[in-house]
Each structure stands twice: as structure tokens, then as C-alpha cells.
Chains A and B, each alone.
Chain A
Amino acid sequence: MAGALVVFALEQSALSGAGKAFAAVSSGPVAVTGWIAVNPDNTVTVGFGGAEMGQGISTGLAQAAAEELMVDWSQVRTESVAPSKSYITGGSWGVRANFAKLRTAGAQAREMLRTAAAARWGVDPGACTVAAGVVTNSITGQTSTFADLAADAAAVPPPAAPALTDPSRFRIVGTTTPRLDLPGKVTGAARFGIDVRVPGMVFAAIKNCPTFGGTVSTTPATPSGCIAVVNLGGAVAVVARNTWTALRGAANLSVSWTTPAGASAMTSSTILAQAGTLMTSGTAGSPVAEKIGDAATAYTNAATKVEATYQLPYLPHVMMEVPNCTVSLTRDASGKVTAAEVWVPTQAPAWVVGTVTGLTGLTAGDVTVHTTLLGGGLGRKIEQDYVAQAVRVAQALRQPVQLVWSREEDLSHDQYRPMALVRVRLGADAQQNLTAYQSRIVTPSPLYQRGWIPATGNDNVDGAAGLSYAIPNKIVEYVRHPSAVPVGFWRSVGESINCFAVESALDELALRTGADPVAMHTALLAKNPRGAAVVAAAAEGLGWSTPPVSTPVTAVSGNGTAVTYTTSAAHGFVVGQTVCISGLVPTAFNKAGAVVTAVPDPTHFTIAGTTTGAATTSGSVTGVGRGLAYSEGFGSLSALALEITLPAPKTVKVTRVACAVDCGLAVNPGQVEAQLQGGIIQGISAALWGQTTFASGRASSRNFSNTRVLRMRETPPITVRIVPSGLGNLGGIGEVGVPLPAPAIANAYARLTGTRIRTLPFFPGAGMGE
């Protein structure tokens, strides 16, 4: 109840600015509360305080309000509120942190509308029922629409603790309501930040110093056809009458840069060597993120041990809409800036206000920020670098300006997912029970780099520390890597690092002990039945209990340089494909990771090998590897099982994926499915190809020419099972799918090839072209 009162108090304070709460309140809508407005056509507009970057939260939160407001979904609209009421969109917090607030807001408005109707009719509010945006007097049968009542309702004091609908009677929450933002996204009408057009505006393209930390030594002359060059210290902006002229001017501009003294240390090989040194040396003074029992002794005494170090790369975000920001400054007669208006695809509108006030000296009340649709955010659009640049260019001009980064600037000046070395030690007793778990994570810290945590703080331990696995002795150590490469928040953040290390190491142990990965996880989750249930659901989704498709091998013939296998049915392999042969005697004929060198006919295939003679038993061959991974990130529990093939050298094809998630209550099951699928697709891309390397402070990533992501033809079928556990367990979804594919693919790869991949990506340097 105390919580509800706090919410109420916040809502009341927000109400005083109700007129400003909605970005564009016309004379028509009536703001009943700071979050709910009623429109003349009896639709309702639910305020949205976050960033819609594809994850569907503007719809999910509107569902929460609409449920209690007693309107039909067809009556619901949504609109961004002012930054003062906004929140940072990140950490998959959008729905789980705001669901109760919007639900309460909907209930408050409903009660205010009901009270207004009751007063009009002179009856007790209890005699009035509400449905489909209409209040009905149950005594007389009189009705009144929300639109009729809105002005009266706005004057009713909001109830502190309005009655909430029992979840068992939810009509809208928990259903796949159509997203509110999609119609405009299929017609070109949707306006992203880069689509903002303001009268009299000019366009600016950025050229950042190619070396991180470098500065402009001399401001270059304005290129022909351009309006201005603005020196921003670490970058220059080229201003022109259209985007293309600005982009071309910036790309071709010759700038003399001053390179920072430490640039040479920003080299991938140097950074990796530092990380290796820190892995050995770095425990003194390093924070311990988790310590249970005595993991060192338990590891020493273990019957079976695995120690492995996993290496992960810096990753660019690769959101489709490049960084951009549009700024219009108002000046008085003396030229002094008196107000600012900003249109920006941002995950942090309140921070944008701070960026603007910090640069202009304006007060927050003089700054208007419009959060546009985001063409992807992925953690990149929480940053303020491109906002600050746009404001500074606008300060140098006398016109509104839209600053745009080229794709090359975006990928080469990202704030990257940090690289990491993670060493995992696992120990099991003679009965194969895990007794020891140690993780040591060496990685640069986005939080420390920004001054948000002290030197003794830890970062990026999510996915390693706090796991519910029933292991009696655990220690997780964080070792901060001081590399100066700018690092940031990449969708799923620390989970993207540690899930790979932990789930790979568990699989390495399973291979050593012969344990089935599903059985191992089920045992480890003995005290977490929800976790065990999602593992079971993912396994069932893939058909884990049925082994991967294989073909019996009935005869073998080796001639000293090649071995030809006869199968009892068509094997379906192609030359260059990797297969795993097992069960034969002599065992020398068995081989994981065998590459098919010839396919004489559908029931024979040949591999290179020196074993001669024939087999005395039958065996089998498969071209399929299967892997499992589990994660507990963002308040949700998730598991993923998948299969891969290696149809050609340097080619991993994920052929099918089964995922399961317990996010408590799926507010919009269709969007949960979409987010899991999309996150898994991003996770596959990152595992196979994602990385940025550095040479003397210069990033390798340029464009899709050297940054590969999955395309439709490479995308496997992905099933998503939702394992509900109730509203009380409401968890995040936007990032949940991302960490799982990397370990699952590595685990599948190890089974098919006998080779463990401990360094991501699988295929560095991959690019795309048509």
C-alpha cells in the first residue's frame, strides 16, 4: 500500500504539468490524469514515457492502462510524454518497471470518470459500471461516454488506491493485441529521428577523429558546396543544404588531427595481452561479486575438473538507424539562446535535457525534447555523444540543424560491448555433482569508464554471479581492465559475455562426465523449479529426447589415404560438409569433425584418413550438432536448444532453434515471441561474425562490408514457448534472447566436430555483399 501511495504522489506532482505531459495536446483531447487523455472520438491516449525501438513497449504499457481503464483495445492510442515523466529505456526494464504504474494510472482514470458520472447523475459511484469507454448508470440505464465525462473527471481528485482487476479476469493484458505503432511502419508514414523535417533546417554530417581521443589540430576550410565546417574538438561537422552533400563533404574532408599519447595502447593484441596478464595477476583488490563456501578448496578436491578461458570481442551495436539528432535553438535579438527544441531517437530523453542545459546554460523548462521512434537502439542510443554534437553545431549556426552520422562513423565510433576474458573452473565429485564454480571476469567497465562506480565496484558480472545453480561453493571475481576503448551497453550487456563462458564450461564438464546437458541443468536447477521448467520446455520444443538425425553406417573401407563409408539409407551429405561418425569398431573409423571429400552416390561418402581395412560392426553418422544453454537475465528465466550443421568449410548453419522463457506474465505473448526471435537472431550474428578490432586507437568496423549480420536465408525456424508463472514474477524480455545462441552453438559445434570454440566470433572478419 505504501508503494501505491508513492505512485499516487508522483502522479499528482506530474499532474500539475498535465498540459505539458503530452507532446502535442491539441484542443480536442482532455487529460484526465498525467498519463491518460480522452479524445473527442472516445478513444483514449495513454502516455508513453519510454523509447519505442522495436520492442513493443509502447503497446505493452498501453495494455496495462487499457486493462484497468475498461476500454476496448480498438479505442487505445499512445503518445510520448515529456522528458520530465520519461524513464531510461534499458536493462529490459520497460514493462517490468512501469507496468504497475500504468495499470494504476488506468484504474485511477477509470475511477475518476466513474465518479464524474455518478456526480452528474446524483448516484453512488458504486451504482455506475464501466465498459468499452462508456459509464452506465445501473439504476436508470443512462449512459455517458468517456469523452462526455472527461472534463468533469479531470477535476475529480485521483483515488490513492483504486481497485485493480484480478489478473484472472484480464481481457487485454496477456493477449496479443496488435501493436499501436505498426500501421505507420508499413506505409513510410512512421517518423524516426532521421525523418524529422523542420522549416529552414540544414543538415550536418560528422567526421569523428579516426583515432579515439584525438582532436582537430586545425579547422579545415568549408568544402565546395557546403555551408560550414564546425570544429567540435574531437570531430568536425560539415554543414550543407542536404544530407548527401554533408555526408560527401565529411567523407572527403582532409582534417589534420592530433593523436593522443595513449593511442598505440588501443590495439587489440595489446589489449588482449593486458587482459591475459590481469587474469593471472588481478585478484588483489579486485571486487568479489559473489562468494559462497570455499570454491578454491572444493575445486582442488574435485574428482572431475574443467578449467577454460573464454575470449569475447568488442562488439558494435549495428542498429539500422544511424545516430542522428535535430536541434532548433531560439535566440533573442542579441543572439542569446533562449530556448531549445530537440527531436532525437533516444533511450534517455531526460539525459538529453541535461545535455542541452549543460551546453547552453538553459534551464530544463526552456528545453523541449521530442523522443521520436528509434530505428533500433540496442543500447547505443542511450549515449549522448551525438546529441551533444548536434547541439554544438546548432549553437554555431543560426538555423535548425539535423546531425547525421554515416554508417562508417557509426560503426567506427561506437561505444562497444567490452571485450572480455572469462576463466571458469568447475569441479564435480565422483557422483558428478558440481561442487565448485569459479568465474574470473577480466573486462573493461562501461560503468567505471563513466565514473558511475568506484574502483572497487564490479561490472559485467551478470550471468556469472547470482546464478541459481545448486553448487555449494562459488566465487565470482571481477577484474577491471583499464583499456581506453570506449565501451557501452550492448543489448544484454554482461549476460552476453558470461552466459557464453558459464554455459560453455558446463557443457565441457558434461562432455567430460558423459552427462546429458538437459539432465545436468535439471539437476543444477533442483532448487529453481521455474528454471528447470524452462529447460524442459526448450528441450521438448526441440525434441531433445530424440537424438539428432543420423544414418546407420553398414560398411567401411579404408585404402590408406581415404575412408569410404556405406550407409543404409541416403545420407544427404555434400562435399565439404562436416560430419560425426561414431559406434564403429575398430574405433579408428570413428571421427568427429570429419569433412566429406567425395559423395560417389547417395549411400556412400568418403573422408580423408589413413585407417585401412573394414569395420566389424555397424555405426552411425550425423551431420547435426545439438547444443543447450540457459540464462537468468533481466528477471526472466530462459533456455534455448538448437541444432547446427556445417554444410561447407567456415560455415555454421543454425538449422532450428527452440526457446522457452518464463517472464512471469507475458503481457503481449506475440511480442514476447518476436523479441525472443529477434534477440536470438542478433545473438547468432554476434556469435558467428560480430567483432570490432582496434589498431592504434582506430576501430576496424566500417560498414556491412566488414560487419556481417544474419539474413533471412540464414535464419532458422525459431519456436518460442512461454512458461507462465504469474504477474508477481514479471520479468524483462527485450534482451533475454541475445545471450543464449553463442554458448548453444559452441556446445553443438563441440559435439559435431570434437573441437571446443572458446573464442568468439567463430568467423572473424566476415562481411556482406550482394
Chain B
Amino acid sequence: MTVLSVKVNGTTHTIDVDPAMPLLWVLRDELGLTGTKYGCGIEVCGACTVWIDGSPEKSCHLEVKEVTSVSITTIEEVGNVSAKAAAVQKAFVDVQAPQCGYCQPGMIMRCAKLLSSSTKPSDASIDAAIGNVCACGTYPRVRAAVKKAAGQ
């Protein structure tokens, strides 16, 4: 166990954890931020996606000791710090994208970043950027939500 500091959603938290604990579980079990989800634990499905200094990263293998000097943003706060993210969240509701909803926080974190770097993404660029797994098959509406958020 080691005392570390992590800056999450603008607040610096001091935690006493195994420094190898992945950020995912620090968020969920130490900080109570359960919006970020466990899906596979092998960095494939993307349910655990957060922003590290504004870039989407899977957090299920990201050891907490590696993120003590960065700014971490989660689904709980992203809409307050990014107008693009807020637009994506609204668009997900507008097009009624979520079904079970479990993968959607990770999807939204990824989609919001896409809009930050590409204001009018094509279908191909959306497909290339969003590799997140959704077992409900919300993909057609997620694609529609990204376009709606982009004003397309």
C-alpha cells in the first residue's frame, strides 16, 4: 500500500492503495465513481474509457501510479468540462441511443473526444474512432448521436 495523489474531475484525492491497482478500480472502489465500467479487463471493450489530460484511455490496465501527475476526467464530470461532451450526452438521449446503458459511458468518452478533434466526422472516421463493444447493438444510434452532436 502506498499513499498517492490522483486528480480526478478537478479534485485531488489522496489515497492509500496498491500502486499497481488499475485506475478503473481506484475510481470505482476508492473514489465511488462507478460510472466508469468494468467490461473485460483486457483493454478491448472500452467500457472503462476515461480521459487522461483530455485524451481517451482505457483504465482497466492503467496502473494508478502512472497517473499521479495527470488530470483525469470521468463520465460523471465530462459534460461539465467539455461542451462537446455535453452535446454528445444530449445527443445520446435525443436519438435514444442507450439500451442497457452499461457500455455507454465509455462510448460517450470516446465519441466526445472524436468531436473535439473532428468537427464533422464522416461515417468512416466515426467507425474508425469508436471501437467500443456494445452487446446491445446500439451502434447505429451511437453513430447517429455523434452526427447529431456535430450538427450534421
Contacts and interface: CB of A to CB of B under 8 A. Distances in A.
Interface of A: 53-56, 176, 178-179, 181-192, 194-195, 197, 203, 225, 242-245, 247, 318-322, 373-378, 404, 406-407, 670-671, 674-675, 677-682, 703-705, 709-713, 715, 717-718, 768-770
B136 interface: yes
Given A680-B137, A703-B42, A770 B131 contact: yes
Contacts of B34: 188, 191, 194-195, 197
A318 B135 contact: yes
Contacts of A321: 37, 100, 102
5 contacts: A179-B98, A187-B35, A670-B96, A703-B41, A713-B131
B136 A189 contact: no
A744 to B, nearest CB: 16
A322 B38 contact: yes
A674 B141 contact: yes
B10 to A, nearest CB: 15
Nearest to A767: B44
Contacts of B102: 192, 320-321, 375-376
A320 B29 contact: no
Q: Which 5 residue pairs spanning A and B have beta carbons closest together?
A: A188-B35, A375-B102, A681-B137, A54-B100, A185-B101
A670 to B, nearest CB: 6
A90 to B, nearest CB: 15
A178 B24 CA distance: 31
B52 interface: no
Contacts of B33: 188
A346 to B, nearest CB: 14
Contacts of B21: 242, 244-245
B100 A320 contact: yes
Contacts of B53: none
Interface string B80-101: 0000000001001100101111
A704 B93 contact: no
Interface in B117-149: 126-128, 130-143
The CB with the most chain B CB atoms within 10 A, among A54, A245, A247, is that of A54
A709 B36 contact: no
A713 B108 contact: no
Nearest to B75: A188
A191 B136 CA distance: 18
A378 B105 CA distance: 20
Contacts of B137: 677-682, 710, 715
Contacts of A713: 127-128, 130-131
A321 B74 CA distance: 19
Contact of B29 (A203, A322, A679, A718): A203
Interface of B: 17-18, 21-22, 24-25, 28-30, 32-45, 47, 74-76, 79, 89, 92-93, 96, 98-105, 108, 126-128, 130-143
Contacts of A322: 38
Contacts of B108: 186
The CB with the most chain A CB atoms within 10 A, among B44, B92, B100, is that of B100
A243 B41 contact: no
Please report whether the interface of chain B is mostly helix, strand, loop or mixed according to DSSP: loop
B97 to A, nearest CB: 8
Given A183-B93, A711-B131, A769-B44, A242 B100 contact: no
Contacts of A182: 92-93, 96, 98, 101
B99 A320 contact: no
A651 to B, nearest CB: 16
B93 A712 contact: no
A711 B135 contact: no
The CB with the most chain A CB atoms within 10 A, among B34, B103, B143, is that of B34
B22 to A, nearest CB: 6
Contact of B89 (A186, A404, A770): A186
Nearest to A55: B99
A179 B99 CA distance: 9
A188 B135 contact: no
Given A178-B93, A189-B76, A406 B104 contact: no
A681 B96 CA distance: 17
A604 B15 CA distance: 66
A226 to B, nearest CB: 12
A227 B16 CA distance: 17
B130 A712 contact: yes
Given A186-B93, A225-B18, A243-B25, A705 B140 contact: no
A194 B89 contact: no
A164 B99 CA distance: 30
Contacts of A404: 38
A675 to B, nearest CB: 8
Contacts of A189: 35, 76
A690 B25 CA distance: 30
B139 A711 contact: yes
Nearest to B32: A197
A105 B105 CA distance: 35
B6 to A, nearest CB: 15
B22 A244 contact: yes
A323 B79 CA distance: 30
A243 B42 contact: no
A682 B25 contact: no
A376 B29 CA distance: 22
